[in-house]
C-alpha cells in the first residue's frame, strides 16, 4: 500500500506536527534508518530529524551496513533507497525482514519508481520535505508509546 503524501503549501514540519497531534504521540521516539547513498536524501532526513521532536536518525550508505544496523539499532522505520532494481529491492527487503522477524513492528519504505508488495509504502527516489514529514508522522503514529 502506498502512503498518500500531501503537497499543500503548509511547511513539512507543521504538517508533521498536525499529524502527530492526531496520534497523540508527540513524546514517543521514532528510530529511523536511512539506507541510501544519495546526499540530498541524507540531508533532508538529517534536517527532519533535527526539526521534529522524538526522531532519531541513523544513516547506512550501503545495503550491507543497513543490514548490520537493523539488529544493533532496531529502527521503527527503514527507508531503503540506493536506486535498486525491482529484483534487488525485493531480495533486500526479504533479507531485512528475515533478520528482524522477531522484533517490534517496523515500517519499510522503498524509494523507487516501481511498486513492490513487500513494503509498506513507496516514496520517490528523490525525497522532498513533505515526503519526509509524512512518513515520519506515519511512523510516529505506529510507534510504541
Torsion angle of the four alpha carbons 77, 81, 87, 91, in this order, in degrees rounded to the nearest 10: -40
* Residue 137 maps to a domain: yes
* Residue 12 maps to a domain: no
* Residue 88 maps to a domain: yes
Please give the tally of structural domains in the chain: 1
Q: Which long-range contacts (CB under 8 A, 24 or more apart) does 82-89 make?
A: 82/35, 82/36, 82/37, 82/38, 83/38, 83/112, 83/125, 84/110, 84/112, 86/112, 86/114, 86/116, 89/114, 89/116
* Residue 28 maps to a domain: yes
Q: Are strands 77-80 and 30-35 parallel, antiparallel or unpaired?
A: parallel
For the chain, give the longest Cα–Cα distance. Answer: 40
With beta carbons less than 8 A apart as the criterion, state whether 137 and 20 touch. yes
Q: For residue 81, count CB atoms less than 10 angstroms from its CB and return exposed for 0-12, middle for 13-18, buried for 19 or more.
A: buried
* Residue 10 maps to a domain: no
pTM of the complete model: 0.75
CATH code for the domain in which residue 118 is found: 3.40.50.2300
With beta carbons less than 8 A apart as the criterion, state whether 48 and 12 touch. yes
Domain that holds residue 125: 22-142
State how far the Cα of 106 lies from the Cα of 35, in Å rounded to an integer. 14
* Residue 9 maps to a domain: no
* Residue 5 maps to a domain: no
Per-residue pLDDT of the chain (145 residues; tens, 9 = 90+): 333 333 333 444 454 444 434 434 445 688 999 999 999 999 988 888 888 778 899 999 999 999 999 888 889 899 999 888 899 999 998 888 888 776 667 888 999 888 888 888 899 988 888 888 888 888 877 654 3
* Residue 132 maps to a domain: yes
Amino acid at each position: 500500500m502506498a502512503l498518500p503524501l500531501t503537497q499543500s503549501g503548509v511547511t513539512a514540519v507543521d504538517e508533521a506536527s498536525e499529524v502527530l497531534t492526531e496520534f497523540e504521540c508527540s513524546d514517543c521516539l521514532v528510530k529511523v534508518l536511512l539506507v541510501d547513498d544519495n546526499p540530498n536524501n541524507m540531508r533532508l532526513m538529517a534536517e527532519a530529524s533535527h526539526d521534529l521532536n522524538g526522531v532519531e536518525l541513523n544513516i547506512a550508505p550501503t545495503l550491507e551496513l543497513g543490514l548490520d544496523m537493523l539488529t544493533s539499532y532496531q529502527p521503527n522505520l527503514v527507508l531503503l533507497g540506493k536506486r535498486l532494481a525491482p529484483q534487488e529491492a525485493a531480495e533486500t527487503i526479504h533479507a531485512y525482514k528475515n533478520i528482524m522477524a522477531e522484533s517490534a513492528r517496523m515500517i519499510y519504505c522503498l524509494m523507487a519508481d516501481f511498486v513492490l508488495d513487500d513494503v509498506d509504502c513507496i516514496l520517490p527516489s528523490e525525497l522532498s520535505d513533505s515526503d519526509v514529514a509524512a512518513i515520519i508522522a506515519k511512523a510516529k503514529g505506529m510507534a510504541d508509546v
